[in-house]
Amino acid sequence: MILGSTGGEIAITHGMKSVGEPARLRPRAVLQFLGRAVRNGWFWTGVPLMALSFYALLVLLSWAPISLVIPASALSYVVGTFGAKFILGEDVSTARWAGVILVCIGVALVAAG
């Protein structure tokens, strides 16, 4: 589930980076930009992966209690950061790592209720 959603999001990020940012944030420019995005192969790699992760979540929920599954999915913040660093080549500073780990623990606590 985590690998599916993270893989999907990384593929979409990669796709959006190759599309390039819209020159200005006007409705027409953004529409043209979205048109280019959906013609990008990476976008269509990302969407099925995200769908797969959603199904994995449904299956997982039928096996394990929700109070375990949802907090555990907070691990995707850490997995995603590794992906961003090693696949997308982003420069993850110490401050960002510290923030990600705090967010991960925080989301797990909030989700556990």
6 neighbors 76 (Cβ within 8 angstroms):
yes
* Of 4 and 83, CB closest to another protein: 83
**Nearest residue to 1 via CA among 73, 71, 66:** 73
Minimum distance between the CB of residue 84 and another protein, rounded to whole angstroms?
Answer: 4
Q: Minimum distance between the CB of residue 85 and another protein, rounded to whole angstroms?
A: 7
Choose between 23 and 63: whose C-beta lies nearer to another protein. 23
Q: In the window 29-68, what residues touch another protein (CB under 8 A)?
A: 30, 33-34, 37
Spatial CB neighbours of 18, under 8 Å, sequence gap ≥ 6: 40, 42
